[in-house]
Amino acid sequence: DAKTTQPPSMDCAEGRAANLPCNHSTISGNEYVYWYRQIHSQGPQYIIHGLKNNETNEMASLIITEDRKSSTLILPHATLRDTAVYYCIVDNYGQNFVFGPGTRLSVLP
């Protein structure tokens, strides 16, 4: 079973920030938090990952709470092309990713 819990769906207005939450209350000290997204009929696309500190790259920001029991993926200016299923995964050493059902984000014009 997936070690994470995500809302099944979310809507976001185009141009606004999309904030996708993920709960991982049983995360252990050496487990990373990874975010992927999957656009229909394509392979999952890596977005970002982190261990303890907040992370930012050209695609998104990852905010991890101090107790590491939850995190938020932020897409700062959502576009229609960001419509996808977003997966939050926790794992150590990347040997066996367990994907849950993810969050279906719909960016609305």
> Measured from the CB atom, is 2 or 74 closer to other proteins?
2
Element (H, E) at 46: strand 45-50
The contact mask relative to other proteins for 62-91 (x = CB under 8 A, - = no) is -----------------------x-x----
Report d(CA 43, CA 74) in Å as an integer: 21
Does the protein bind other proteins through residue 8 (CB under 8 A)?
no
Report d(CA 86, CA 6) in Å as an integer: 9
Q: How far is the CB of 56 from other proteins (least distance, A)?
A: 15
